[in-house]
Amino acid sequence: MSDKFYRLGCDIGGTFTDFVLLNDQTGEMRINKCLTTPQDPSDAVEQGMRELEQKSPGFIRQLDEVIHGTTLVINSIIERKGAKTGLITTKGFKDVLELGREIRYAPYDIFAEYPKPLVPRRFRLEVDERLRSDGTVLRPMDPEDARVVVRELIEMGVESIAVCLLNSFENPTHELTIKEIIQKEAPGISVSISYDVLPQIREYERTSTTVTNAYVKPLTGRYLIKLSERLESVGFEGKLFIMLSSGGITSVETAAEFPVRIIESGPTAAVIAGQYYGKLFDIPDMFCFDMGGTTAKSCLIQGGVAGVVPTFEVGRVQRFMKGSGLTIQVPVVDLMEIGAGGGSIAKVSKMGTLQVGPESSGADPGPICYRRGGKEPGVTDADLVLGYLDEDYFLGGEMRLDKEAARRGIEEQIAGPLGIPFIQALWGIHDLINETMAAAAKTHIAEKGGNPKVVTLAAFGGAGPVHAYGLAKKLGAPRLMIPPNAGVGSALGFFTAPRAFDLVRSHKVALDGADFHEIEEIFKEMEAEGARTLKKSGTEEDFRFERSVDARFVGQGSETNIPIPETDFTKVKSGEVRRRFDEVYERLYGRTYPDSPVEFINFKVRASLPERLLRLPKGEKKVGPLMDAVKRVRQAYSRIAKGFIPYTVYDRYKLHPGAEFQGPAIIEERESTVVVGEDASVSVDEFGFLWIDLTK
Q: Name 643's bridge partners.
A: 638
CA distance linking residue 245 with residue 216, whole number of Å = 15
Among residues 445, 219, 248, 238, the alpha carbon closest in space to that of 332 is found at 248
Among residues 60, 19, 65, 14, the alpha carbon closest in space to that of 41 is found at 14
Helix (H) or strand (E) holding 348: strand 344-348
> Which residues are paired to 289 by β-bridges?
298, 459
Render pLDDT for 616-660 as a digit per residue (tens, 0 to 9). 777 666 667 888 889 999 999 999 999 999 999 999 989 988 899
To 5 degrees, how large is the angle CA 431–CA 435–CA 441? 140
Q: Are 637 and 669 in contact (CB under 8 A)?
A: no
Which pTM does this prediction carry? 0.82
**3-state SS assignment for residue 669:** coil
Look at residue 167 in the predicted model and tell me its pLDDT: 93
Query: What is the rounded distance in angstroms from the CA atom of residue 273 to the CA atom of residue 496?
Result: 6
Question: What single DSSP character describes residue 378?
Answer: B
Report helix, strand or coil for 157: coil
Burial of residue 146 (number of CB atoms within 10 Å: 0-12, 13-18, 19+) = buried
H or E segment and range at residue 121: none
Question: What phi and psi, each to the nearest 5 degrees, are found at residue 318?
Answer: -105, 105
Residue 1's pLDDT is 42
Cα separation, 564 vs 559, in Å, equals: 15
- Map residue 616 onto helix, strand or coil: coil
> Edge-to-edge strand order for the sheet containing 544-553?
500-510, 598-608, 544-553, 560-564
Q: Are 515 and 581 in contact (CB under 8 A)?
A: no
What is the rounded CA–CA span in Å between residue 153 and residue 2?
51
| Residue 125: HSE in the Cβ half-sphere, 13 Å Cα cutoff | 20
At 88, which amino acid appears?
Answer: I
For residue 378, what are the β-bridge partners?
345
- The rounded Cα 614 to chain-centroid distance in angstroms is 20
pLDDT score, position 613: 67
Strand, coil or helix: 483: coil
C-alpha 577/C-alpha 596 separation (Å) is 14
DSSP 258: -
Question: How many C-alpha atoms does 210 have within 13 Å on its Cβ side?
Answer: 32
Residue type, 381: D
- Sheet with 673-676, strands from edge to edge, namely 630-638, 643-651, 665-668, 673-676
Q: Are the beta carbons of 7 and 24 closer than 8 angstroms?
A: yes
- Bridge partners for 666 per DSSP: 649, 675
The C-alpha atoms of residue 548 and residue 504 are separated, in whole angstroms, by 10
Contact (CB, 8 A) for 248 and 499: yes
Please report the pLDDT score of residue 204 as a whole number: 92
- Structural domains present in the chain: 6-77+222-262 (3.30.420.40), 80-216 (3.40.1360), 362-430 (no CATH), 500-608 (3.30.1490)
**Length of the chain, in residues:** 696
Extract the runs of DSSP E, i.e. beta strands, from 342-455: 344-348, 354-360
| Residue 388, strand partner residues | none
Cβ-based neighbour number of residue 55 at 10 Å: 11
Q: What is the b/e burial string over 499-529, where b = at least 16 CB atoms within 10 angstroms of the residue's CB?
A: bbbbbbbbbeeebeebeeeebbebbeebbeb
Cα separation, 366 vs 373, in Å, equals 8
pLDDT at 696: 62
Closest-CA residue to 669 (of 127, 25, 31)? 31
Residues of the chain scoring pLDDT < 50: 1
DSSP 238: S
Q: Looking at residue 619, what is its pLDDT?
A: 66
Amino acid 237 reads E
Helix (H) or strand (E) holding 32: strand 29-35
C-alpha to C-alpha distance for 206 and 193, rounded to whole angstroms = 10
> Which residues lie closer than 8 Å to 134 by C-beta, 6 or more apart?
170
Please state whether 456 falls in left (phi above 0), alpha (psi between -120 and 50) or beta: beta
